[in-house]
Amino acid sequence: MRTELARVSAMRDKKSIAKLAARFSRIGAGAPIDMSIHQDNRNSTAYIVDISQSGLGMPNRDYYIVQDDAKLADARAKYQAHVEAMLALAGYKNAAAEAAQVVALETEIAKAQWSAVENRDPVKAYNKLSIAQVKALAPDFDWNAYLKDTGISGKVDSLIVSPPSYLAGLNAIIRNTPVEVWKPYFEFRLISAYAPYLSQPFVDESFAFRGKVLSGAQVNRPMQKRAIAEVNRALGEVVGKAYVKQYFPAERKQQVEGMVKNFLAAFKEGIEALDWMTDETKKQAQVKLSKISVKVGYPDKWRDFSSLKVARNDLVGNVSRAREFAHAYEVNKLGKAVDRSEWGMSPQTVNAYYNPELNEVVFPAARLQYPLYDADAEPAINYGAVGISIGHEISHAFDDQGSQFDGDGNLRNWWTREDAEKFAARGKILVAQYGAYSPLPGYTLNGELTLGENIADNAGAIMASRAYKISLAGKPAPVIDGFTADQRIFMGLAQARRGKARDPSLIAQIKSDPHSPAEFRVNGSLRNHPGFYDAFSVKPGDKMYLPPEQLRVIFWSAHRLRTDEDAATGRPVRFH
């Protein structure tokens, strides 16, 4: 750590900012800009470097710039005290003054950044600029040093910049901020990033802010769990190979792959039955659906970690080397063919994802364990519990972001103008619905930020019901313990999405997470689901009843919803 801090102390001019940003990118310490390597959204056969905004110590720019929120103001005050405490622990004599400078600098950085909603737009975020154009955008940042020290110099002739206005704003900040202010900024970035691996006072201070203030946690996780988490981060597929051997039998993989096939069939039926989409766009949607790649359980080939040095008595060194190893692994992709077999999560991760660039859905082995998936349970429960995840991830191929990519992973508009407008209109209704939900007093969800996940939750729930019926192959659904299969699907869904969160954690989620809190991922979706109304005889006056005139929004499936007025008059049903 002293060696790394000495790099900061050696700063003599602002050219060092780029070199430090590059170094900190390699060792995971954070800097005002971040770089990542992924497929080119306009050419899915090639890798490219993405330069994006970064450099904040709190979850979101709102924590710095929103002035009318008492809880965020309290977090800001506690953050400055935390920065001071960290610098003091590291032996800096002017910790109070330097902490004020750090927070002031981060506030300026926050002001230059795009909002979370703006960053969701893949078209606006795609700005392919030549190296010369990037240099012209931020001439006070030493791009030659940055490209060289990150290892990408000579490997690319252009960069994706998202957003360009941030780089221009950062350039002004660099020009107007003295070197003596940048020093404590980088010192704190480094100390903060590595505090969990230092002595107990650093661990405790890091948790006091990041655990207690930002998430509301009262007690840090036991050392054993923190150690396991770190090994998972650094050596994910090494652990994963052992994990699947012990906990993921081959028949489990086959069972889930069979379920996924039923969900794909459900989407095929749903798209074809849409009453609002033209045949031209339906054809394109079916082509994309047919090209979705499915990965279940674990990779077909395992990543080689043999060149990573792990020393028994060097925790900080191990973490640093593991981060540099991961950085080098990504840089090494440049100029090579895209590896479509690669996984973005380890098998032991309790999660799942859709990647629009690869047009793939991925379900790690740990997501397919009890209680989220029970190999011994009757199918309806599983079609709700794990099915909501399968349907959700496939739905991402057709949410407001994913629907802008084609079946090969390219950012390409395959919609007719008429269909795109109808799809957007449904999205606006969903934005309004979720924007009215309040997880805690004084806070409502950001319907625009969560739109993609809400579409996936809504469509995924619809498809869970449809896929289960496909699995029956014409056989009647059994009633078990007095519950119909439809009821059990929804019970499984609700059980899988259960969660609890303290207020600070909810605030952080509302401000920066595209997922709605658990309660609204379930209830928000099911209020739009016609099968839910039928399964539980939901009627006016019930808490989850949504009046038809407020529009029950359905994506990627045609369902007829009879309004109460229709039922009384016998008039034809309406479509929403």
What superfamily would CATH give domain 248-301+341-575?
Collagenase (Catalytic Domain) (3.40.390.10)
Tokens at 378, concatenated? 């009757």
Band of pLDDT at residue 555, cut at 50, 70 and 90? confident
Contact 449, 508 (CB under 8 A): no
**pLDDT at 548 (0 to 100):** 79
**pLDDT at 534 (0 to 100):** 95
pLDDT in tens, 167-203: 999 999 999 999 999 999 999 999 999 999 999 999 9
Counting Cα atoms < 13 Å in the Cβ hemisphere of 9 gives 7
Contact 266, 460 (CB under 8 A): no
**pLDDT at 566 (0 to 100):** 32
pLDDT in tens, 195-227: 999 999 999 999 999 999 999 999 999 999 999
| Separation of alpha carbons 194 and 189, rounded Å | 9
Band of pLDDT at residue 57, cut at 50, 70 and 90? very high
**pLDDT at 554 (0 to 100):** 84
pLDDT in tens, 113-131: 999 999 999 999 999 999 9
For residues 32-38, average pLDDT: 95
Contact 572, 475 (CB under 8 A): no
pLDDT in tens, 333-369: 999 999 999 999 999 999 999 999 999 999 999 999 9
Tokens 């901020």 found at: 177
In the chain, where the domains are located: 2-220, 248-301+341-575
Q: What percent of the chain has pLDDT over 70?
A: 97
Q: What percent of the chain has pLDDT over 90?
A: 93
Counting Cα atoms < 13 Å in the Cβ hemisphere of 5 gives 13
**pLDDT at 137 (0 to 100):** 97
Query: Is 1.10.3720.10 the CATH classification of the domain at 2-220?
Result: no
Band of pLDDT at residue 558, cut at 50, 70 and 90? low
Please determine, for residue 78, whether its predicted confidence score (pLDDT) is greater than 60: yes
Tokens at 296, concatenated? 């279940």
| pTM recorded for the entire structure | 0.92
**pLDDT at 371 (0 to 100):** 87
The torsion angles phi and psi of 294, rounded to 5 degrees, stand at -115, 125
**Closest listed residue to residue 470, CA positions, set 260, 264, 266:** 266
Please determine, for residue 26, whether its predicted confidence score (pLDDT) is greater than 90: yes
- Please give the C-alpha separations between residue 340 and each of 46, 210, 405, in angstroms, as whole numbers: 11, 36, 16
Band of pLDDT at residue 30, cut at 50, 70 and 90? very high
For residues 237-258, average pLDDT: 95
**pLDDT at 561 (0 to 100):** 32
Tokens at 54, concatenated? 């970064």
Band of pLDDT at residue 149, cut at 50, 70 and 90? very high
Note the helical H segments in 35-178. 62-65, 70-89, 95-112, 122-125, 131-137, 143-150, 164-176
| Separation of alpha carbons 462 and 106, rounded Å | 43
Please determine, for residue 568, whether its predicted confidence score (pLDDT) is greater than 80: no
Dihedral-angle region of residue 139 (phi above 0 means left; psi in -120 to 50 means alpha; beta otherwise): alpha
Q: What is the distance, to the nearest Å, from the Cα of residue 213 to the centroid of all Cα atoms in its chain?
A: 22
